[in-house]
């Protein structure tokens, strides 16, 4: 087979402060930069992204890949009209030339553009219009996809991640290759069934390292194997204000009755577990006080997630609520050099640090007061004297469970210290999802007493093995830990804002 391959990755928080324009996709930041043609295969083939998994699986089968383009940008507010149309026109234009037997798309599934609420559904619809009604069109999806009717209608089949933190991206791409092979061998379109759940799931509660999510996905995989139905449970990204935001269980298979039965079994289990989708949250001050108390008797670091400033969920990673709380509690004075926070997005502070050099003392303000999801401003910048401990150009090879084989491009970066607290300041947005993002500026995570990570869940893949305890704090920021707190305007009244 000749397989047309392309990708579009964006997770849209419609309540966030900053949009994803074309330069955001050109640079990629925490994603690979925009690439097209053979360069796309070379860049993405070795990665842990779904496209990497699909490329390797396709080549093992002897398939020929027809590359179009792959574009990804860090989560943020809406994708601009210009950016979406550039990406869509490139992919659809390439597809219109034909010369292939099937299509694979590496999608996120939760993109919202300025002019199109269902960005992936729109892309799939445009593609279907040029490839015809019968050609197999397969897509991989993020576990946080907001799966829409348009997506289900125009894709032949889709498969979503089964882990959060997402350590199965490449596996999902490979699973799409298996799915394509099965559909091709069957010779006829497969049946699709889906059930949308009547409530939103908070992001922090979706972690598959904990119950109830862990058990749900274990049983889903077993049912998938036993029934022959290819099942997915997309838990949804609960910060996209459009009418199809939310969790969906869906499945594909040659037997419509079997597909329906399997989808209903998974969906009803999730609904029955509704009271269990919750997580204990702490105020910044309470999180720090509890962490300090736990650290006294721990030989491993206590990790605090600064979840509402998670750049992996559309925030800008520049709020200072947790830093203010650490300073107020004297955390760095109690454990000098053993308290660290990252990553703080502040290109101006990083540039000043580079101009001054290692060892310099800087009288500056770091961080920003940003508009939060509730319309209020976050905490003010921290203005004080900082010491420059380390500098980097921010090119960071990654070796962790989520990112092995990739490279982060964070721009000019600096480790600044204030009152014994170390802060990794960067010029590119990326959540603290790996130990390497502390280490590249001289902070050894395992040697710390307290770590504050600007992340919601992804950090757990790398940090849970080295942590004595993990706490989740809700400092003011653009990403609501509780979806019920968001000022929804388009979500149907029948959808509960919380489990």
Q: What is the pTM of this model?
A: 0.92
pLDDT at site 404: 81
Domain that holds residue 221: 2-276
pLDDT at site 228: 94
- Domains identified in the chain, total number: 2
Kindly report, residue by residue over 43-70, the tens digit of the pLDDT. 999 999 999 999 999 999 999 999 999 9
Least confident window among 219-228, 326-335, 371-380, 421-430 = 371-380
Question: pLDDT higher for 465 or 494?
Answer: 465
357, 323: one domain? yes
CA atoms within 13 A on the CB side of 195: 17
pLDDT at site 405: 79
Cα gap 29→408, rounded to integer Å:
7
Q: Is residue 237 part of a domain?
A: yes
The band of 279, judged by pLDDT with boundaries at 50, 70 and 90, is confident
Kindly report, residue by residue over 469-487, the tens digit of the pLDDT. 999 999 999 999 999 999 9
Cα gap 422→450, rounded to integer Å:
10
Mean pLDDT across 397-402: 90
Contact between 428 and 415 under an 8 Å Cβ cutoff? The reply is: no
Contact between 83 and 112 under an 8 Å Cβ cutoff? The reply is: no
Mean pLDDT across 280-290: 97
252, 139: one domain? yes
Cα gap 34→221, rounded to integer Å:
33
Q: Is residue 493 part of a domain?
A: no
pLDDT at site 407: 87
pLDDT at site 85: 98
Q: At a CB cut-off of 8 Å and minimum separation 6, what does 460 contact?
A: 165, 207, 209, 470
Residues in the chain: 499
Mean pLDDT across 295-324: 96
248, 388: one domain? no
The band of 17, judged by pLDDT with boundaries at 50, 70 and 90, is confident
**Pick from 276, 309, 344: which residue ends a domain?**
276
289, 216: one domain? no
39, 142: one domain? yes
Tokens of 392: 């980097």
Kindly report, residue by residue over 232-269, the tens digit of the pLDDT. 999 999 999 999 999 999 999 999 999 999 999 999 99
Q: Which residue has the tokens 């390292």?
A: 209
Neighbour order of strands in the sheet with 469-473:
361-366, 382-392, 413-418, 421-426, 339-345, 450-453, 302-306, 469-473
245, 326: one domain? no
243, 313: one domain? no
The band of 374, judged by pLDDT with boundaries at 50, 70 and 90, is confident
Q: Is residue 47 part of a domain?
A: yes
Q: How many Å is the Cα radius of gyration of the chain?
A: 22
313, 378: one domain? yes
199, 314: one domain? no
Contact between 159 and 175 under an 8 Å Cβ cutoff? The reply is: yes
Checking if the pLDDT of 499 tops 90, the result is no
243, 337: one domain? no
Q: Is residue 490 part of a domain?
A: no
**Pick from 228, 249, 276: which residue ends a domain?**
276
405, 298: one domain? yes
Domain holding 39: CATH number? 3.40.50.2300
H or E element at residue 436: helix 436-439
pLDDT at site 440: 98
pLDDT at site 99: 97
**Pick from 276, 297, 329: which residue ends a domain?**
276
What percent of the chain clears pLDDT 90, i.e. is strictly above it?
93
223, 325: one domain? no
Q: Is residue 499 part of a domain?
A: no
Checking if the pLDDT of 273 tops 80, the result is yes
pLDDT at site 243: 95
Q: Is residue 334 part of a domain?
A: yes
Q: Is residue 488 part of a domain?
A: no
Checking if the pLDDT of 29 tops 80, the result is no
Q: Is residue 489 part of a domain?
A: no
């Amino acid at each position: 087979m000749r397989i047309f391959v392309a990708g579009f990755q964006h997770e849209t928080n419609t309540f966030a402060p900053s949009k994803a324009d074309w330069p955001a996709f050109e640079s990629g930041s925490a994603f690979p930069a925009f690439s097209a043609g053979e360069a796309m295969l070379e860049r993405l083939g070795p990665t842990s992204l779904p496209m990497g998994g699909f490329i390797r699986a396709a080549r093992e089968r002897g398939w020929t890949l027809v590359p179009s383009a792959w574009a990804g940008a860090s989560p943020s507010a809406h994708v601009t009209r210009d950016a979406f149309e550039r990406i869509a026109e490139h992919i659809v234009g390439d597809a219109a030339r034909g010369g292939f037997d099937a299509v694979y798309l590496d999608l996120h599934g939760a993109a919202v553009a300025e002019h199109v609420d269902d960005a992936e559904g729109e892309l799939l619809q445009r593609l279907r219009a040029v490839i015809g009604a019968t050609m197999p069109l397969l897509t991989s999806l993020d576990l946080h996809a907001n799966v829409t009717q348009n997506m289900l209608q125009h894709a032949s089949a889709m498969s979503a991640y089964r882990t959060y933190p997402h350590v199965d991206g490449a596996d999902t791409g490979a699973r799409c290759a298996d799915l394509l092979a099965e559909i091709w061998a069957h010779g006829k379109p497969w049946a699709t069934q889906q059930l949308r759940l009547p409530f939103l799931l908070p992001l922090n509660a979706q972690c598959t390292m904990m119950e109830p999510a862990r058990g749900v996905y274990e049983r889903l995989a077993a049912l998938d194997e036993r029934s022959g139905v290819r099942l997915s449970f997309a838990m949804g990204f609960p910060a996209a204000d459009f009418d199809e935001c939310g969790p969906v269980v869906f499945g594909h298979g040659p037997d419509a009755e079997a597909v329906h039965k399997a989808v209903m079994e998974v969906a009803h289990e999730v609904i029955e577990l509704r009271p269990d989708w919750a997580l204990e949250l702490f105020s910044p001050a309470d999180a720090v006080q509890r962490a300090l108390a736990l650290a006294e008797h721990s030989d491993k670091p206590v990790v605090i997630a600064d979840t509402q400033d998670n750049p992996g969920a559309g925030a800008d990673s520049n709020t200072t609520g947790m830093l203010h709380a650490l300073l107020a509690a004297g955390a760095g004075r109690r454990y000098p050099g053993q308290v660290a926070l990252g990553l703080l997005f502040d290109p101006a502070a990083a540039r000043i640090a580079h101009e001054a050099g290692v060892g310099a003392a800087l009288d500056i303000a770091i961080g920003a007061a940003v508009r939060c999801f509730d319309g209020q401003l976050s905490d003010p910048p921290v203005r004080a004297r900082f010491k420059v401990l380390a500098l980097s150009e921010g090119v960071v090879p990654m070796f962790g469970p989520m990112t092995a084989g990739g490279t982060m491009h964070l721009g000019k970066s600096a480790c600044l210290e204030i009152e014994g607290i170390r802060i990794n300041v960067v010029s590119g947005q990326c959540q603290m999802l790996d130990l390497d993002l502390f280490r590249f500026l001289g902070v050894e995570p395992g040697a710390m007493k307290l770590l504050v990570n600007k992340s919601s869940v992804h950090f757990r893949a790398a940090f849970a093995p080295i942590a004595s305890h993990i706490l989740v704090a809700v400092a003011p920021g653009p990403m609501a830990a509780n979806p019920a707190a968001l000022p929804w305007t388009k979500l149907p009244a029948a959808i509960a804002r919380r489990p």
